[in-house]
């Protein structure tokens, strides 16, 4: 009898966690990892969107667990960690995708509470997730963490200084913790997309047909998690072919 085709899925028996999975890039990444055979744990603050993502994955034969979680809340993040360890006993892939933007104001007009919200989601959140899941990867001597940043973390962004600063910070965090985890056989990669046609931000001044799609970002994640064991793509910048 021929072996089951599932045995040839590249991520069969692996477990992934994807934050910010209720829509956009997070949902696309979660669907791609599930298609590739991984059991996917998806998290987001919005339970309705999270349920829709989970349903679409299951309808296509994927394994998915949906866990509402605010990445700025350490207790909620740690609860996700305990749930993953109890059900699966491992974590192979962590994608820190959850993020928010707040554009359109000069820095000196930017409210302090909004600054805190942006920094907490875009920078503190990934720290909480890595703090929770890296020890499980270290014990297994295996794993891959992918942080979704932005080209705004490499270039000036007038009227978006807080968002840009949070992504510059995420870049530094990613590249630094990558060095801390390399000796444990855990890879940490940075993905920095340019203009992407999701409902994140205002694209009214751009031609969406020329923008990246959420699936373009999912393609990059799929490439990263299927590298050979002796290779490590630490950083990917992805731009639209034509400026939108």
Token output for 177: 């913790």
163 is catalytic: yes
| 152 token code pair | 């705004």
- 22: which 2 tokens? 């209720």
Nearest-5° Cα angle at 10, 5 to 13: 85
3-state SS of 126-191 is HHHHHHHHHHHHHHHCCEEEEEECCHHHCCCCCCCHHHHHHHHHHHHHHHHHHHHHHHHCEEEEEE
Asked if residue 213 lies in contact with residue 196, where contact means CB atoms within 8 angstroms, the answer is yes
Check 8, 127, 128, 163 and give the catalytic one.
163
> What SS3 state is found at 82?
helix
Instruction: Give the active site residues.
Output: 163
């Amino acid at each position: 009898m021929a072996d089951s085709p599932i045995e040839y899925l590249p991520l069969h028996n692996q477990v992934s966690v994807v934050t910010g999975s209720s829509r956009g890039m997070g949902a696309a990444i979660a669907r791609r990892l599930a298609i590739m055979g991984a059991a996917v744990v998806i998290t987001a603050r919005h339970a309705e969107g999270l349920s829709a993502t989970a349903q679409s994955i299951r309808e296509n034969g994927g394994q998915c667990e949906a866990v509402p979680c605010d990445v700025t809340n350490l207790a909620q993040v740690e609860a996700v960690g305990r749930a993953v360890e109890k059900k699966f006993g491992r974590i192979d892939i962590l994608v820190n995708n959850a993020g928010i933007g707040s554009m359109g104001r000069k820095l000196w007009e930017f409210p302090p509470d909004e600054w805190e919200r942006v920094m907490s989601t875009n920078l503190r959140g990934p720290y909480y997730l890595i703090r929770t899941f890296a020890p499980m990867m270290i014990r297994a001597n295996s794993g891959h963490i992918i942080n979704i940043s932005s080209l705004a973390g490499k270039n000036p962004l007038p009227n978006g200084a807080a968002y840009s600063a949070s992504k510059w910070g995420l870049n530094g965090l990613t590249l630094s913790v990558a060095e801390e985890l390399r000796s444990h056989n855990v890879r940490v990669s940075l993905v920095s997309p340019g203009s992407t046609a999701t409902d994140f931000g205002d694209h009214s001044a751009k031609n969406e047909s020329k923008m990246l799609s959420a699936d373009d970002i999912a393609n990059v994640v799929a490439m990263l998690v299927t590298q050979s064991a002796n290779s490590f793509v630490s950083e990917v910048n992805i731009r639209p072919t034509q400026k939108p």
